[in-house]
Amino acid sequence: MILLQLIYSGIALGMIYAVIAFGYQLTFATSGTLNFGQGEALMLGALVGLTLVGLGVNYWVMVPIVCVFGFIQGAVVERIAVRPAIKTRSEFGWIMATIALGIIFRNVAENVWGRDDLPFPSPLPVAPIKVAGANVLPMELLVVVGALAMMLLVELFNRKSIHGKAFVATSNDRDAAGLMGINTGLVITFSYALSSLTASFAGVLIAPLTLTGATMGAVLGLKAFAVAIIGGLSSGTGVVVGGLILGIAETTTGFYLSTGYKDVPGLVLLLLVLALKPAGLFGKTAIKKV
């Protein structure tokens, strides 16, 4: 039963990694770039959500407000940090720019909310419930359901809406999409906005299970990046499977070995994937004609 309980906790943690990694995948598909301040988007979403709840806003009303905030924040990141690098065809400009913005966001959060970690009130009962003989927190179930629902909604948007089809066309061939009249610059901005929206949503999901603070996003963003690489930046299924593998590996290692070693399995797996299958477990290697 202990192992089953660890697996349940690992699944909840892994789904948070998957949602953040899904955001990495969104921006990489349209522009070939990544937002290395993705963890800070999660952190800001959690802290803004905590402030709204503290002002008396209901948790379920707060969630869409935070998503709108994340959407705007992502668009700002693309405009300031990524678009200039794309225009000048700088290979490393967007990396340093997104990292710099992430540090700025973290410093702003420290000055506004302080350096101490803060508790986030849970919208659900804190008493665990029994599932197949093991205890599960209701909030952990909400994390899993919410993360899957968010990724499913984005996929449905891409498949069913005209704007989503423009997103898919840009991800398949940006130059051809531009020739067909699609505003690829706007699509890239939208992908960054959507990426930060998913991260902010993940922030308010995980916040009641942990402490909320200015540094909470740094480690989560880095691990989600590892999940994106392990699963494959071109595969939605890959980020889910990669997140589950890393989440379960962390919880079981932390219990059976030591909490000091819980980060080791994921890093070892990352090194193995990079050495044996650089495109990721579910990723496809692109062949380019020169």
Share of the chain above pLDDT 70, in %: 97
Q: For residue 211, give Cα distances in angstroms to 119, 246, 267.
A: 5, 21, 24
Helix (H, G, I), strand (E, B) or coil at 290: coil
Contact 212, 116 (CB under 8 A): no
Residue showing tokens 């909470």? 216
Q: Facing residues of 286 across strands?
A: none
- SS3 category, 167: helix
Mean of the pLDDT values across residues 231-254? 86
Taking alpha carbons only, the member of 272, 115, 84 closest to residue 188 is: 84
Highest mean pLDDT: which of 65-69, 88-92, 128-132?
Answer: 65-69
Q: What tens digit of pLDDT does each residue of 34-72 get?
A: 889 899 999 999 999 999 999 999 999 999 999 999 999
User: Using 50, 70 and 90 to split pLDDT, how confident is the model at 284?
Assistant: low
Across the chain, mean pLDDT equals 87
Beta bridge partners of residue 118, listed in sequence order: 212
Closest CA to 195 of 38, 33, 60, 8: 38
- Residue 203: pLDDT band by 50, 70, 90 thresholds? very high
Cα–Cα distances (Å) from 3 to 8, 10, 130, 134, in that order, read: 9, 10, 14, 9
Q: Bridge-partner residues for 119, per DSSP?
A: 211
Host H or E run for residue 119: strand 118-119
Is the domain spanning 1-276 CATH 3.30.310? The answer is no
Give the span between the Cα atoms of 198 and 194, in whole angstroms: 6
3-state secondary structure of 276: helix
Number of Cα atoms under 13 Å in the Cβ half of residue 111: 6
CA distance 239 to 23: 10
Number of residues that make up the chain: 290
33 versus 52: which is more confidently predicted?
A: 52
Looking up tokens 């913005």 gives 101
The CB density around residue 102, as the number of other CB atoms within 10 Å, is: 23
Q: 1 Cβ partners below 8 Å, 6+ apart?
A: 133, 134
